[in-house]
């Protein structure tokens, strides 16, 4: 797979990459998967019972497009993880982990609520393993219906909200409510709010910030050409990605962008190493700082940071508060001076879509808007800094991409 890096009037540099992922060039199915599953693994300390984690996995087996955190948050909202939860309503009530009504259960299971096909004396709708399996298939069908509705009606207000919020509207209030959004029942609005809050609080920080950046160059990695991905779209990234470097760009910045793009598509080796990855583009073995957060604080103290500035220039470092101890940083490989549109600014990042691809410490190309959405509900951005690193320089003969420990 070849990604193109255009450098003004200097022509085109071919930058080798296994898979380059952008918000505008990947296949539709892959993009849809990114929108629902990225960054969605449950943290070890999330308040989800151990047995319920198994039910979450069973729901995802029926609908891998959904993230662990979202599924867990929906089950918590619907039943508090109680398989026998029941609620009465004007339509005959709902049962089980996902509070499915009689018609939905019949349509997806083929049998009534009171069916006990395994003869264990428990209605199958109250059997958490059976219910989770049926619910997974139901949610995937409903998600597909929501996606089709959004495609058919791009002008509806509901077509511009996150697709999982739209799925909650359809699940909780009915797909007809997508046409009336934002006029939805208050209970549905609170449902969305609670699920989004829990999803953010319960998410494992698979991108960065959970452990101290390892400055030890003895750490090595293997670049795998066949990661045998287990995520919702195994072929995620089978598209081309292009970034353009304008004429007059300083040579060091143009070279850094070229180097950064060379790592896009690497499938392993960069887990928890965001600061090292950013500085690698400028020819360093490591950043020389213990973490991205420490790097940011040093940039602020030395006057090299622009806190809160949402128009980072090409080649700059953008920093985020992740809600974890050590933060995140990425390098800007596509700027948007003048408009500063976060959907047009692009960065590279480690692990961003690992949960969707099955990679571990892969490197991806994504928009600033997408990356920002991963942190603290879209409020984690700290600002940008000049690309200053203090680690050891790589040999001048180094050819990127290189393993993280080189």
Strand partners, 203: 42
Residues 305, 381 contacting (CB under 8 angstroms) = no
Q: How far apart are CA 245 and CA 5, in angstroms?
A: 7
Give the max Cα distance, the chain: 75
What region does 376 belong to: left with phi over 0, alpha with psi -120 to 50, or beta?
Answer: left
Ramachandran area for residue 366 (φ above 0: left; ψ -120 to 50: alpha; else beta): beta
Decide the pairing of beta strands 86-87 and 328-334. unpaired
Between CA 327 and CA 142 the distance in angstroms is: 36
Q: Quick one: pLDDT at residue 1?
A: 26
Q: Positive or negative, the Cα torsion across 224, 230, 231, 232?
A: positive
CA distance 300 to 312: 15
Please report, for residues 50, 217, 230, 268, 361, the alpha-carbon distance to residue 221 in angstroms, rounded to integers and kept in the order given.
32, 11, 20, 7, 10
Output the pTM of the full model: 0.63
The dihedral of CA 140, 141, 146, 150: what is its sign? positive
Pair of tokens at residue 78: 């619907």
- The whole-angstrom separation of Cα 69 and Cα 165 is 14
Report how far residue 113's alpha carbon sits from residue 100's, in angstroms, rounded to the nearest whole number. Answer: 10
What are the average pLDDT values for consecutive 10-residue runs of the chain, which has 406 residues? 36 30 37 59 88 95 88 96 91 91 94 92 95 96 95 94 92 96 96 88 66 48 35 40 85 96 91 94 95 96 98 98 89 96 94 77 91 84 97 93 88
> CA-based Rg of the chain, rounded to a whole angstrom?
23
Torsion angle (degrees, nearest 10) of CA 101, 107, 112, 116: -110
Rounded distance, CA 84 to CA 373, Å? 35
* H/E run at residue 104: helix 102-109
CB 9 within 8 A of CB 247: yes
Distance, in Å, from the CA atom of 51 to the CA atom of 43, rounded to the nearest integer, reads 15
pLDDT of the residue at 45: 86
How much is the pLDDT for 203? 77
């Amino acid at each position: 797979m070849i990604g193109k890096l255009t450098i003004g009037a200097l022509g085109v540099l071919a930058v080798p990459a296994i898979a380059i992922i952008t918000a505008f060039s990947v296949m539709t199915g892959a993009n849809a998967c990114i929108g629902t599953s990225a960054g969605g693994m449950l943290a070890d300390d999330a308040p989800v019972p151990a047995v319920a984690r198994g039910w979450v996995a069973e729901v995802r087996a029926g609908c891998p497009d959904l993230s662990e955190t979202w599924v867990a948050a929906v089950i918590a909202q619907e039943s508090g993880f109680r398989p026998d939860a029941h609620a009465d309503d004007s339509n005959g009530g709902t049962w089980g982990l996902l509070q499915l009504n009689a018609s939905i259960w019949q349509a997806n299971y083929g049998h009534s609520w009171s069916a006990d096909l395994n003869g264990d004396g428990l209605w199958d709708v109250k059997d958490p393993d059976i219910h989770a399996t049926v619910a997974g298939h139901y949610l995937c069908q409903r998600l597909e219906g929501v996606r089709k509705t959004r495609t058919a009606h791009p002008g509806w207000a509901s077509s511009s909200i996150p697709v999982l919020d739209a799925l909650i509207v359809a699940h909780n209030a009915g797909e007809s409510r997508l046409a009336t959004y934002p006029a939805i029942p208050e209970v549905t609005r609170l449902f969305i709010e609670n699920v989004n809050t829990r999803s953010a609080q319960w998410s494992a920080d698979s991108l960065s910030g959970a452990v101290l950046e390892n400055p030890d160059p003895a750490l090595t990695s293997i670049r795998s050409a066949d990661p045998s991905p287990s995520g919702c779209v195994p072929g995620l990234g089978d598209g081309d990605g292009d970034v353009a470097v304008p004429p007059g760009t300083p040579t060091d910045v143009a070279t850094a962008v070229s180097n950064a793009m060379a790592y896009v598509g690497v499938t392993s080796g960069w887990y928890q190493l965001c600061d090292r990855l950013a500085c690698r583009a400028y020819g360093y073995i490591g950043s020389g700082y213990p973490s991205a957060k420490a790097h940011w604080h040093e940039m602020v103290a030395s006057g090299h940071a622009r806190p809160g500035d949402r128009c980072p220039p090409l080649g700059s470092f953008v920093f985020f508060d992740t809600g974890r101890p050590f933060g995140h940083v990425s390098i800007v490989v596509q700027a948007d001076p003048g408009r500063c549109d976060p959907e047009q600014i692009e960065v590279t990042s480690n692990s961003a879509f690992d949960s969707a691809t099955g990679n571990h410490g892969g490197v991806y190309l994504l928009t600033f808007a997408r990356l920002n959405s991963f942190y603290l509900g879209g409020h984690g951005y700290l600002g940008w800094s000049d690309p200053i690193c203090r680690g050891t320089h790589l040999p001048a003969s180094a050819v990127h991409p290189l393993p993280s420990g080189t």
